[in-house]
Amino acid sequence: AGLSLLSLLAVMLFPYERYLPGIERKASEALKDPVKIGTIGFSFLPRPHIALGNIKVGQAEHLTIAKAMAVPDILSLLGESTIVSELVIEKPLIKSSGLNHLAQAGSSPGMTIKHITLSGLAFVVGKTAYSGMNGEITMNAAGAPEKILLRDAEGFLKIELTPKGEIFQIAVSGSAWRSSTRPSFTFDKFDAQGELKPDRLV
C-alpha cells in the first residue's frame, strides 16, 4: 500500500512543466510548424493522462486545439523518445489556409504516437465554418499520419482524407445527408472523390 501511495504521489507531483519545451519541440518537428502549448498537467479521469490545453500551431494559428489528452508510457517521459499510446484531441479548429502544412505532417524522432482520436472538429473555409465532426487519425508503421477518418454527429456524412504531398486526397460518402448550403439539399445517397487544397476543393 505504501509503495502504491508513493507511486501515485510521484505521478501527481511529476514536474511536467519542465518537459513542456521538449514536448513543444517534438510536436513542432512532427507538424513541420511551431507549436505552443498553453497549459500542461496530469489527470486521472477518465483515465490517467497528461492534460494539455490552449494549443496553437503555426505562425497564423491555422490549427488550434482547446484540449488534448495524451496517454503516455510514463517511463518513456524520462528517455529521449516519448511514446503516446493514445492522443485524444478535443475541439480542434482547422483553417483551410493551413492544409498544406498539415498534409506534410510526419513522425518525430523524439515522439511516437500510436493512435489519435478527434472530437468536435471544426473546419473553416473563408468565412464559413463546418463543425461537429468526430473521427480518428490512423498512423503508419513509421509513426506518421496515414489516413484521417471523419464523420458527422449523426453518421450521415463520412469523409476520408489521405495526405499526398501538400494536398489531401478526399473521399466523401453520404446517406440521408442534408447540406449546410443555402438553399440546402438532402441527398438520399452520394459518393465523391477529389483533392482538397488550401484554396479549393477539386
pLDDT in the model for residue 6:
55
Residue 23's φ and ψ, nearest 5 degrees, are -65, -40
The torsion region of residue 53 among left (phi > 0), alpha (psi -120 to 50) and beta comes to beta
- pLDDT score of 47 more than 60: yes
Region of residue 172 (phi > 0: left; psi between -120 and 50: alpha; otherwise: beta)? beta
Which helix (H) or strand (E) segment is 7 a member of? helix 2-12
Region 120-132: mean pLDDT is 81
How far is Cα 60 from Cα 132, in angstroms, rounded to an integer? 23
The model scores a pTM over 0.95: no
pLDDT average, residue stretch 162-166: 88
Q: What is the helix (H) or strand (E) element at residue 26, kind and residue range?
A: helix 20-31
Give CA–CA dist 51/42, Å, rounded: 6
Task: Answer with the residue of higher pLDDT: 92 or 78.
Answer: 92
pLDDT for residue 16: 63
Contacts by residues 6-12 (CB-CB < 8 Å, ≥ 24 positions apart): 11/42, 11/48, 11/74, 12/42
Average pLDDT for 148-172: 89
Bridge partner residues of 192 (DSSP): 172
- Whether 65 and 40 have beta carbons less than 8 Å apart is answered as no
The whole-chain average pLDDT of the chain stands at 82
Q: Bridge partners of 137?
A: 116, 148
Locate 107 and state its grid cell.
513522425
Q: What is the pLDDT of residues 3-44, one digit of tens each?
A: 655 555 555 555 566 778 888 888 888 888 899 998 888 776
